[in-house]
Amino acid sequence: MSLDTVVEDIREEAHARAENIRAEGETRAEEIESAAQEDAEEIVADAEADVEREIEQLREQRLSSAKLEAKQKRLEARRDVLGEVHDQVESELAALEGDAREELTRELLEAATVEFDEGDDVNVYGRSDDEALIDSILEGYDGYEYAGEYDCLGGVVVESEQSRVRVNNTFDSVLEDVWEDNLRDISNRLFEQ
């Protein structure tokens, strides 16, 4: 065997070995590239899922916020309507005249009298416009006298130092009691659903 043949064999062997190494390197590079591509696709999918979750969360928050705001506006509107109805009832009570006003004032005074003992000096207060009406009603009650003005829609405030009792039977107080006791029914009637 000649030296040239040995050199040629070594050269061929080195060339074959280099070709194997290059092929293995390409295979390994393809595997790394494929794994990186899979990782990248997974990262993109996870990011897209995160974005979709965030979008859904924001949508739910905004929807919830809008529903709450709408509910608050409905409640404010209802409160406004109830306030208007209350004001209208107050106006109608203040405007009562004649027999209706006298009958209500008389009934409110009579209801207050059960709180006082016979012989008590009883002071009766009422709306300044009702002084003459209250004076005429008090003519039938011994020991009762009109004692002055009370800022109210009508009715009477009755008190006695002997009994240490004060009874507020004004249209205002009766309206507030009735209003509080029946607010749910009033609201249901106004806003039937």
The residue with tokens 């109805």 is 85
Residue type at 45 in one-letter notation: A
pTM summary value:
0.64
Q: How confident is the model at residue 144 (pLDDT cuts 50, 70, 90)?
A: very high
- Provide the pLDDT for residue 126: 96
- Provide the pLDDT for residue 193: 57
* 169 touches 156 (CB < 8 A): yes
pLDDT digits (tens, 9 = 90+) for 155-177: 999 999 887 889 999 999 999 99
The residues pairing with 160 across neighbouring beta strands, listed in sequence order, are 122, 165
> What is the residue-averaged pLDDT of the chain?
88
Q: What is the DSSP string of 49-114?
A: HHHHHHHHHHHHHHHHHHHHHHHHHHHHHHHHHHHHHHHHHHHHHHT--HHHHHHHHHHHHHHHHT
Q: How confident is the model at residue 152 (pLDDT cuts 50, 70, 90)?
A: very high
Q: How confident is the model at residue 7 (pLDDT cuts 50, 70, 90)?
A: confident
- Provide the pLDDT for residue 128: 92
Q: Residue 9: pLDDT above 80?
A: no
Cα distance between residue 124 and residue 110, in whole Å: 12
Token couple for 62: 């905004």
Higher pLDDT, 74 or 157: 157
pLDDT digits (tens, 9 = 90+) for 81-106: 888 888 998 898 888 899 999 999 99
**Residue percentage of the chain with pLDDT more than 70:** 99
Residue type at 138 in one-letter notation: L
- Gyration radius from the chain CA atoms: 47
Higher pLDDT, 29 or 105: 105
Residues 6+ apart with CB under 8 A from 112: 156, 158, 167, 169
- Mean pLDDT of the 61-75 span: 90
